Chain A
Amino acid sequence: EAQVTQNPRYLITVTGKKLTVTCSQNMNHEYMSWYRQDPGLGLRQIYYSMNVEVTDKGDVPEGYKVSRKEKRNFPLILESPSPNQTSLYFCASSPPTRTYEQYFGPGTRLTVT
């Protein structure tokens, strides 16, 4: 089954404790991206990757890092989480010529206290 998986689905952590949210897709998509979703603000892109070892900032990259060492995986790293990073996070992938056809992961609800 074609899918995008994320782990963990739910996470409560404390300020400053490094964490990683994993994302994996089995559709051989080149393009992957991370979004955060906040009430009243919609989905905002954090980082994206056009292919292995090619990543770039989206609209709200501050406080986040990503890596793309393999085509299928695109982890999101929060080196020192802060309460303003409490949000719902979605990973998405798409074929390179159809970036509108985004396949979203199930989401990770992160709470930073």
Chain B
Amino acid sequence: GQNIDQPTEMTATEGAIVQINCTYQTSGFNGLFWYQQHAGEAPTFLSYNVLDGLEEKGRFSSFLSRSKGYSYLLLKELQMKDSASYLCAVRVPIYNQGGKLIFGQGTELSVKP
């Protein structure tokens, strides 16, 4: 089966740093993705990791350890607009699709002043 776990909700303070963890157990692995989704809106792509290590993109960084089935999204210098749901997704190989995204349930992040 496919299983992706992330905390349901987190709270952090404006200007701080927050780390959102994601663990996965999937039948195959072709990359891990993070999406941001504001309430009532569509998810938007944030980052992609396929090799172990840290990928940095501005205030956002994402880390992957394939041997541990573990990733985290690090958000620095938090802003109020970062309040959103953060979705962890794993791409698993599917023979006739090339690859398919399996999503976790999302982590609702609240940024407080």
Chain A residues within 8 Å of B, Cβ to Cβ? 31, 40-45, 48, 50, 56, 58, 90, 96-97, 99-102, 104-107
Task: Assess whether B91 is in contact with A104, with CB atoms less than 8 Å apart.
Answer: no
B83 to chain A, nearest CB (A): 17
Distance from B68 Cβ to chain A, minimum over Cβ atoms (Å): 21
CB pair A41 B105 closer than 8 Å: yes
**B31 touching A104, Cβ below 8 Å:** no
Interface size on B, residues (CB 8 A): 24
Q: Which of A58, A96, A107 contacts B98 (CB 8 A)?
A: A96
Once bound together, how far apart are the Cα atoms of A101 and B101, in whole Å? 10
B51-73: contact bitstring with A at CB < 8 Å (1 yes, 0 no)? Answer: 00000000000000000000000
Docked CA distance A43–B45 (Å): 14
What are the 5 A-B residue pairs with the smallest beta carbon separation, nearest first? A104-B42, A42-B105, A43-B103, A42-B103, A99-B99
**What are some 14 contacts across the A-B interface (CB < 8 A)?**
A42-B4, A96-B98, A99-B91, A99-B99, A100-B48, A100-B89, A100-B91, A100-B99, A101-B45, A102-B43, A102-B101, A104-B42, A104-B43, A107-B42
How distant is the Cα of A105 from the Cα of B40 in the complex, in angstroms? 12
